[in-house]
Structure 1
Amino acid sequence: NEDELTPIFKGETFQDKIDEYYRLEESGDEIYDLLASKLSTYMSYWYYSAGAVTDEDFEGLQRDMDEGKI
């Protein structure tokens, strides 16, 4: 089903998911590396803004990443 969500980190237990995280990190998979980079950028932006960011702020961040400014 197209609308069904698929977890990135497969596994039943938390340890299974951690193991999958490390496997993906070490695999050199281009899609995973891009995802991890974008996610860490978003999380850092949110964290260092003390959580006071809007949708527009994230859209601007996405534009900056797409344009290679970040």
Structure 2
Amino acid sequence: TVGAQSFDIVKPSSRCVLTTVDPDTGVKDPGLQPLRTLSGYRRTADGVIFGQNAIHESPGVIRVNDVVTVIESE
């Protein structure tokens, strides 16, 4: 949960290649940074994972400083 909001964890999250594009110029980094560096730290048997995709269970509000609580883990 985050505050009073509950989430279902759906699947691991890969990172979009748009993070390699400079937002000011629209030019893609030729070295694919920062993905290339980050992928060295986030590699698993299933590929490069950067987080989790989650879906909220019901409408709600999340605020800065809400407590994050892990209800269940693998």
TM-score, normalization by structure 1? 0.31
The structure richer in helix per residue is 1
Higher relative contact order, structure no. (Cα contacts within 8 Å, ≥ 6 residues apart): 2
Greater Cα radius of gyration, structure 1 or 2? 2
